[in-house]
Amino acid sequence: MTIANTIRGVGHRTVNAVWRIGLATRFFLQILRFSDTSFRRFRLIKKELFSTGVMSLIIIVVAGLFVGMVLGLQGYETLKRYGSESALGVMVALGLVRELGPVVAALLFASRAGSAMTAEIGLMKATEQISAMEMMAVNPIARIVAPRFWAGVISMPLLAALFSAMGIFGGYFVGVVQIGVDEGSFWSQMQAAVDFKHDIMNGVLKSFVFGTVVTVIALFEGYDAPPTAEGVSGATTRTVVTSSLAILMLDFVLTAMMFGGA
Amino acid sequence: MRALNFWIANLSSPALVEIRDLNFSYDKRPVLQGINMTFHKGQVIAIMGSSGCGKTTMLRHIGGALKPTKGYVKVDGQVMHELNQAGLYKMRRKMGMLFQFGALFTDMSVYDNVAFQMREHTDLPEEIIHDLVLMKLHAVGLRGTQNLMPSELSGGMARRVALARTVALDPMLIMYDEPFAGLDPISLTVVGDLIRRLNDALGATSVVVTHDVQESLKIVDYVYFMANGVIVAEGSPDEIRASDKAFVRQFVHGEMDGPVPFHYPGGDYRQDLNLRA
């Protein structure tokens, strides 16, 4: 009986997960279908860019700076063993641009902007604002969801780029200013080793994918949330958990595709 | 006098809303069963009944938000559930709905809330929208709140702003979902009075879903009483007041027990308390 119940439970959860993935995919397609309003009235996206992107600046800047400083410290300690301290700039830059910039920025974006999006849309649903909009013959996907989606997609690569820039500055501060690594080697080796197409553009592509996935998850969870306090809080938690796992899994897949054979 | 006007309206004006043999079920649980209603132009109609009797479901059918299991709702000659999304949105532009707690957009000011539909559905220049918004707010007595955010309004004020937003595009059909819920006596009278006056000024038809008997009987032309998904009584306010039907009497006079039982169905009380017979 217990085994049967366990199998039934696993089956139920699996079917439910597949069902939700299907619903989220349909939701994503609807966003794309009703995106024309957002581009015709770009001020809708601009308004969301402020709350999604600009309001995330502080956390991204501070986190980027400290991650870069830690990379500088740890990198120096490791490279010193092999007498390669001058390669610190390359290590910090490649680590940030290829990996940490897109991934950590996306994780922070999911926690700050993603959870805010879910809570906002969930509460709009709970307070009948979405129903009111539908009754006014205004499509909520076009008017509320699509501008937030595009704001997320646009702001994510910019935030990741800023994160990487601040991280490099943090690495420079610790490595060059504090420890005394040669400044010329730090910058020149970085310039020589970091390839624009292979490293920077792949990082941008990663952050674009993460931005799309995190924003779709956040918006879907908010739109699909049961219209109760418990429902909205559960949806907000799911956004952070699902987004974080999706970022880390996708990061592996994308890294394998981009750099696996290199 | 109002009863006379009502019968004259019935004879002279065509039906704006026709509901015929409407049935609706949630997961095989019947919510509406064989509902027939007719709303004529210019009337204010009340749909009353205790919580969970199907009133709001009825309103959602009129707005085209739900598809009936059987029967139809026809608004201005169009069967609502047969319309595609474009047709439904076109029809909804001629409708207005006031939600129970206003459902104002919390990220917009009072002014922007009222201007919302004008900006979405018309190409009016901003100067005209400005004047129209102020006129609508003036009609509900809240012109001075135009720069406030919804969080700065009291419950009654939020309801009145929502009413101004509902009538922003002069709809032919206005629906009210529990407009009197949670209001103080002054706001209650103000909102009730506004519902009647706005309906008459716009030449619209209003449907008020409510369980506030005394307030709604003062302003409506006709009343439908619902219980367990069926119409149990209907008539003019005077007929309802004089009705000797047990359900209507219990509802109008607020009696604790009657056809609507005080106790929710449950098991044997003594058994629940683990008492021996």
> What CATH number has the domain bearing residue B241?
3.40.50.300
With respect to residue B125, please indicate whether it lies within any of the assigned structural domains. Answer: no
With respect to residue B252, please indicate whether it lies within any of the assigned structural domains. Answer: yes
Q: Cβ contacts (< 8 Å) between B103 and chain A: which residues?
A: 127-129, 131-132
The tokens for B157 are 């004020």
Best residue of B119, B120, B167 to probe chain A, by most A CBs closer than 10 Å? B120
With respect to residue B29, please indicate whether it lies within any of the assigned structural domains. Answer: yes
Task: Report the chain B residue with the minimal C-alpha distance to residue A131.
Answer: B103
Is the pLDDT reported for residue A173 higher than 90?
A: yes
Q: Does B67 touch chain A if contact means CB atoms closer than 8 Å?
A: no
Decide if A135 and B93 are in contact by the 8 Å CB cutoff: no
Mean pLDDT for chain A? 93
Decide if B103 and A129 are in contact by the 8 Å CB cutoff: yes
With respect to residue B108, please indicate whether it lies within any of the assigned structural domains. Answer: no
With respect to residue B228, please indicate whether it lies within any of the assigned structural domains. Answer: yes
Q: Residue range A166-188: average pLDDT?
A: 93
Query: Domain of B244?
Result: 2-94+171-276
Q: Does B95 touch chain A if contact means CB atoms closer than 8 Å?
A: yes
Angle, to 10 degrees, between the axis of helix A57-81 and the axis of helix A101-109? 150
With respect to residue B194, please indicate whether it lies within any of the assigned structural domains. Answer: yes
pLDDT tens track of chain B, all 277 residues?
555 555 555 556 678 899 999 999 988 888 889 899 999 999 999 998 877 788 888 889 999 989 999 999 999 989 999 999 899 999 999 999 998 888 999 999 999 999 999 999 999 999 999 999 999 999 888 899 999 999 999 888 898 999 999 999 999 999 999 888 878 888 888 888 889 988 998 889 999 998 888 888 889 999 998 888 888 889 998 888 888 888 888 877 777 777 777 777 788 888 888 886 5
Task: Identify the DSSP state of B14.
Answer: P
State how many domains chain B has.
1
pLDDT score for B202: 87
Decide if B106 and A124 are in contact by the 8 Å CB cutoff: yes
Task: Report the chain B residue with the minimal C-alpha distance to residue A130.
Answer: B103
* C-alpha closest to that of B111 among B80, B81, B86, B135: B135
pLDDT score for B51: 76
pTM: 0.85
Decide if B103 and A139 are in contact by the 8 Å CB cutoff: no
Decide if A127 and B121 are in contact by the 8 Å CB cutoff: no
With respect to residue B115, please indicate whether it lies within any of the assigned structural domains. Answer: no
With respect to residue B217, please indicate whether it lies within any of the assigned structural domains. Answer: yes
